[in-house]
Amino acid sequence: MVEQPVEEPKVEGFAAALVRQMRAEDTHGHWERKSDAQLLEPFILDKEKRRAIPIIGDPDPDTLWRLQLFYGALCLEIERLTRRMVQPMMKMSHEGFGRMVLIGGRLVVLNKQLRDVHRFGFDSIEKLNAEAEKMLGQAVGMIEKFPEVADY
Amino acid sequence: MVEQPVEEPKVEGFAAALVRQMRAEDTHGHWERKSDAQLLEPFILDKEKRRAIPIIGDPDPDTLWRLQLFYGALCLEIERLTRRMVQPMMKMSHEGFGRMVLIGGRLVVLNKQLRDVHRFGFDSIEKLNAEAEKMLGQAVGMIEKFPEVADY
């Protein structure tokens, strides 16, 4: 009898773009044998996992790296949709509080107050996609509203 | 015979605003006995001092602090002139290369590529003022050009 592989959720939408970005950074091929869902696993924090993390804490380097991957992939998606170069800038103040801005030309296309960065994550891949879609919509909307600033 | 005090250059313009900002941070009064010109001294790198610093190097914490003081004071001056809150965000990449943006609302009022941050400084107080005035003019110009983005 052939062993059935475990059915994994199909990774689509922004999550697929995020995975592409992660694999692009994997220059040594460490993750070649990992599935898309496995790569996304650290981004998913369900209620139980979240509860296991202290309420106040400093973000560790892996979490900061995931945050940068997420917003970096968001920039690439905004670029794909609007044909404008967009770059992230982050300011961390203390204990996981900070600010992330995505800048295109002279326009802040997305402005995000960060809090609880040490608990950065999403309930599910669907929630990750929904959150990203919302932010993409806001960013594209800003560029459509102020194209001359984005092109400045 | 009374000893004559050494004549010090009068600190005016943006340099005076920078000194006010430094004294505001001096909550313990360490610098009460220092003159304005003495406080500004680390910002002044004449040709000789500059030559003494290696061409390539990582910026030390004091230099980064002076960079932040300078751009922080610039933000306050932009606020004074335009009645808009402006905040700095910095990204350092490597060996003193990076980017500084001053953001008001959704507008990048000033965008500055940083290089040789480890040698941050000005030939003289006059040069410091001239450089700051130029940047203030650019920032105020951007806000006048795109007020609805600065107020967004």
Give the nearest partner residue to B89 out of A91, A142, A149, using CB atoms: A91
pLDDT, tens only, B20-50: 999 998 888 888 899 999 999 999 998 888 8
* B21 occurs within a structural domain: yes
Q: Which residue of B has its CA nearest to A112?
A: B106
Chain A residue with CA closest to B98: the answer is A89
Q: Does residue A4 belong to any structural domain of this protein?
A: no
Range of the domain at B145: 13-151
- Sheet order of strands, A97-104 included: A87-94, A97-104, A107-114, B107-114, B97-104, B87-94
Q: What is the pLDDT of residue A37?
A: 93
Examine residue B110 and state whether it is found in any structural domain, yes or no: yes
Q: Is B19 a domain residue?
A: yes
Q: Measured between CB atoms, which of B91, B99, B106 is closest to A108?
A: B106
Judge: B89–A101 Cβ closer than 8 Å, yes or no: yes
- 8 Å CB contact of B101 and A103: yes
Å from B91 to nearest chain A CA? Answer: 7
Is B128 a member of any domain? yes
Confidence tier at B3 by pLDDT (50, 70, 90) = low
B10-47 CB burial, b ≥16 within 10 A, e <16: ebeebbbbbbebbeeeeeeeeeeeeebbebbeebbbee
Determine whether the interchain pair B146/A149 forms a contact, defined as Cβ–Cβ distance below 8 Å: yes
Q: What is the pLDDT of residues B96-148, one digit of tens each?
A: 789 999 999 999 999 999 998 989 999 999 999 999 999 999 999 999 999 99
Which residues does B50 contact at the CB level (< 8 Å), separation at least 6? B119, B121
Residue A5 binned pLDDT confidence (cut-offs 50, 70, 90): low
Model ipTM value:
0.87
A96-151 pLDDT, tens digit per residue, is 789 999 999 999 999 999 998 989 999 999 999 999 999 999 999 999 999 999 99
Closest to B106 (Cβ–Cβ): which among A89, A90, A142?
A142
Q: Higher model confidence: residue A47 or residue B78? A: B78
- How many domains are there within chain B? 1
Side-chain half-sphere exposure of B42, counting CA atoms within 13 A? 16
Q: CA–CA separation, B134 vs B110, rounded Å?
A: 11
What's the longest Cα–Cα distance across chain B?
64
Distance from CA of B49 to the nearest CA of A (A): 32
| Residue B108: CATH number of its domain | 1.10.3100.20
Flag whether A87 is in a domain: yes
Question: Which letter does DSSP use for residue B59 in this model?
Answer: P
